[in-house]
Amino acid sequence: MNYRELPGTGLKVSEICLGTMTWGQQNTEAEAHEQLEYAVSNGVNFIDTAEMYPVPPRAETQARTERFLGNWLGSRPRGDLVIATKIAGPGRRDWIRGGRTDITPANIAEAVGQSLERLKIDVIDLYQIHWAQRNIPAFGPGLFDPSKEREGPSIESQVEGMAAMIEAGRIRHWGLSNETAWGVSAFHRAAEKLGVPGPVTLQNSYSLVSRSADFDLAEALFRENMSVLAYSPLGGGMLSGKYLGGALPKGSRFEAFETLGQRFRLPMVVEAIDAYAALAREKGLSLVQLALGYVRSRWFVGSTIIGATTMEQLAENIAAGQFELDADTLSAIAKIQARYPNPGG
């Protein structure tokens, strides 16, 4: 396993980050712990979760994922494990902290305290804002709509809340998720104004079919010295190959949850994936190797977040996530991208 230092943190994380959002819904606690043991034994030292998990979010399962992880962490020395979690943003999930989901300093402090208790640790290495407080198009292709503007705490107050948690020794660093280039820069300007630490990472969807980080966001990341934690690197499982030809395997996520991952089921996404699958066959690669190898090749990616519901998937993803594509394959990918620039948003 190779490791990369997240800029500005001193944290050395594995190129593969273990995602956890299926734990408590599609995976039992015993299965979650089996995944953890396997991943760590194969060099993974970076684990990402969220107070909202598992997905799909429901009142009766909320925070179950952090508890599963915490029970495992509480049974072993912390060692060099890097633990990341997230505070849920505003929305219609009134069961999260009694509906107190505006990103205020008080709510940040409450959420951090609850996550620390569930995770059974003394400090969170990386604490992230799961989605924006303000009005932005998120979770797939969409247009900015000024009519959806809403009141809420300022970016400056959100930065103050994160800085207070660092000062209190409850988190080490903080980051953003599902953010825009404007948002990345605005958070940094606020942190500079206040003289406090700014965000160090951006956890956004990134894959062969979701490439927003390749455009204006890439400049913001470069200039603000940040790296991407790439989630959904297999396009919600579409790039695993199991849905090719319209297949809907029994027990798969899209079969179990009809409304989940709609951004990855669009006709243009399906067409693009067919082209990538043909390229993988031509190169003698699996589609997973092609997809995860591509994400690994990008200069701004600090770690690739992979998840799985079975141990077979986990083993394949960890191996493929370390695969290095040659120049000819990357050139062939670029030709397909010219036809399908960013179909999944």
Rounded to whole angstroms, the Cα distance separating 101 from 107 reads: 7
Rounded to whole angstroms, the Cα distance separating 193 from 185 reads: 12
Given 3, 38, 53, 294, the catalytic residue: 53
Spatial contact of 26 and 64, defined as CB atoms under 8 Å apart: no
Candidates 183, 185, 186, 187; CA nearest to 174 is 187
Task: Give the CA radius of gyration of the chain.
Answer: 19
Rounded to whole angstroms, the Cα distance separating 227 from 201 reads: 5
Rounded to whole angstroms, the Cα distance separating 35 from 311 reads: 7
Spatial contact of 200 and 126, defined as CB atoms under 8 Å apart: yes
β partners of residue 82: 46
Candidates 49, 45, 54, 51; CA nearest to 76 is 45
Spatial contact of 173 and 128, defined as CB atoms under 8 Å apart: no
- With H, G, I as helix, E, B as strand and everything else as coil, classify residue 12: strand
Rounded to whole angstroms, the Cα distance separating 316 from 321 reads: 8
- Which residues have C-beta within 8 Å of that of residue 43, sequence separation ≥ 6? 1, 14, 16
Candidates 312, 236, 242; CA nearest to 31 is 312
Assess whether 53 carries a catalytic annotation: yes
**Residues with catalytic annotation?**
53
